Structure 1
């Protein structure tokens, strides 16, 4: 099968390497995505094991359309009963960049109408739409006049690992958290600290990586399970292989945050995934944080300033720089922020800068190599 895997901007090469490791063939890096080829075993494994994937799509129909009528007619030409039966619900996710279709939602609506009308014309009945929990999720992608409709094998986005409380949205996407660890070059032998850990995304992702725990190990609902060609035997084999690969490892992962509620949330998530013996998190101001090892790595996503005000943020980032210089000689420190002005107040020279996006915010992920007697950046 041709397979298209979505990710976040800046993580494409990381995802491509992950895809190759689990057996993807003819891997090509694209913008915010990776395309490849694979069989059903690979498709299931991609959903279970990829840490930097958001969605795993299988393209089923390509066509050209410049008007609403053309789009409707083209969709009507394809046999949708191959993927959807009359008793199943469906929904259409959409991303359209086209001067011919100013409102992507309307393109999705015309696609939905065509699928429903095809069933009604053939059977006298129509499948129902369920935008929250559909049995079958289609993905409509349009660029100019070229369209692709794919089957969404994932269902819910793959950043949802299951260690969050329902309804709780973290300030850092889990896929991005895993991506930061890969980009920084962290591995389980390196002591890791996040002294501004919030609800612990980076720490939890690191603990799962360090023990080779599949990111979706506790998830049971995937889009492909509702497909007519779902193979339970192959799926059980993929799960068994993944579980057999888990390795208990001695990890040195610690974190802290000044927000007591956030710390409680982290520890609840750690207990939920049986990771409490791998990660230690305490309520602590970053300015009071002291390492317990002579070297290691800091990876953190400090506040960007929306809640603490501009001047306070600049002072706060200055204090981060002071803490790094005074307490963390011998460490590599990686910080991500969208606040470029505040970054200047750290007053350390970054040895590497990577552009990423945290939601809609353009960020830089910057590396500071902390040597004894680090000098301030020249003015």
Structure 2
């Protein structure tokens, strides 16, 4: 069994822990913006293929001392990197955290890179090239105090980039956060779903993928572990084939998104087409004032703008007031969840939340507000 660490958005640690446990992970332990767990190679591949709320799955290889730049360099150079990297392969280093002597992540990453290539030159004269976009090996270094945890990133590019969404609105919601909101709201495939302010469609599309049991990793071109020296292509193909066979052919309840801007709605429709769910999901062009329930009851989850990314707060007050009025008048048998990063705007809805969940949309602290309509 190997130790792994999954990185997640702040506020979604418990959700990610549940997701990992359901996939078969052992020794699952929540941490700040992450979850540690153990498993075999099959689990590592399965987690990357299936998880919906996680950014990266890291495999720690060593914890070293790093009181300053020189110690970081020497400690990295003392590791035999031939076990992980040959000189004909590219690599990149991603660094997070820091201490008083190592307070610039770019230069800390540069020290680690220099230590590795200097060792390669000493061993054989040739060195690996750096590829910051699509490296064969992505090394993660997390510095806290005088310690640096060095890990291999099995995911490569962040898992929130499913691969189906080149078209985004002005304030895109990460796919991982959208999936997390669905879990926080306890939405399940047998419950109708509606987003009256769907933008480029992330929430209804993520709901559709979950409802049809589609593994989000199937849309990605590659994962970091595919370039590792111990990569098992037969096992990986087996897991992908099993995932494809487990997909469902129809929804149990309607999933609907509505957007007033026809150009943004076209982006949502294009994204739905790219992941092959355009015949299942309903994406409609309606002004918020004219939306109506697609069925008798269900769950609404929506992410209206909150003044830090689109427009000014004062200009959005009327939108929140309208949202509250529409909910009270037409959706009294629905459960409603509104994600907002602005408490004053949330008050304009005119409803008292029964619960609130603290999450982060990027670096913006937000609340997912639950409203019981009756």
Regarding TM over 0.5, the answer is yes
Aligned to 1:376: none
**8 A contact 2:168–2:200 mirrored in 1:** no
Give me the TM-score of the superposition, normalised by structure 1: 0.95
Aligned to 1:374: none
Structure 1 stretches of 5 or more lacking a match?
372-379
Assess, with a 3 A threshold, how the Cα gap between structure 1 residues 137 and 182 changes in structure 2: closer, same or farther: same
C-alpha separation in 2, matches of 1:194 and 1:310: 21
**8 A contact 1:56–1:154 mirrored in 2:** yes
**8 A contact 2:169–2:267 mirrored in 1:** no
268, 271, 280: which is aligned to 1:269?
A: 271
Deviation at 1:288, TM superposition (A): 0.9
Deviations 1:153-206 (A, max 9, x none): 111110111111278886100000000000000011111100000000000000
**8 A contact 1:14–1:52 mirrored in 2:** yes
Residues 1-379 of structure 1 mapped to structure 2, 5 A cutoff? 1-165=2-166, 171-250=172-251, 251-305=253-307, 306-371=309-374
Aligned to 1:377: none
Q: Which moved more, 1:306-315 or 1:2-11?
A: 306-315
**8 A contact 2:254–2:294 mirrored in 1:** no
C-alpha separation in 1, matches of 2:175 and 2:334: 24
Q: Which moved more, 1:85-94 or 1:265-274?
A: 265-274
Assess, with a 3 A threshold, how the Cα gap between structure 1 residues 368 and 103 changes in structure 2: closer, same or farther: same
The secondary structure found in structure 1 opposite 2:217 is: coil
C-alpha separation in 2, matches of 1:92 and 1:72: 13
The secondary structure found in structure 2 opposite 1:235 is: helix
**8 A contact 1:170–1:199 mirrored in 2:** no
- Aligned residue-pair number: 371
**8 A contact 1:100–1:145 mirrored in 2:** no
Structure 2 stretches of 5 or more lacking a match?
none
C-alpha separation in 1, matches of 2:168 and 2:90: 24
Assess, with a 3 A threshold, how the Cα gap between structure 1 residues 73 and 83 changes in structure 2: closer, same or farther: same
C-alpha separation in 1, matches of 2:112 and 2:275: 40
Deviations 1:219-252 (A, max 9, x none): 2311111111101111112112212221223230
Q: Which moved more, 1:343-352 or 1:161-170?
A: 161-170
Root-mean-square deviation over aligned CA pairs? 1.3
**8 A contact 1:100–1:144 mirrored in 2:** no
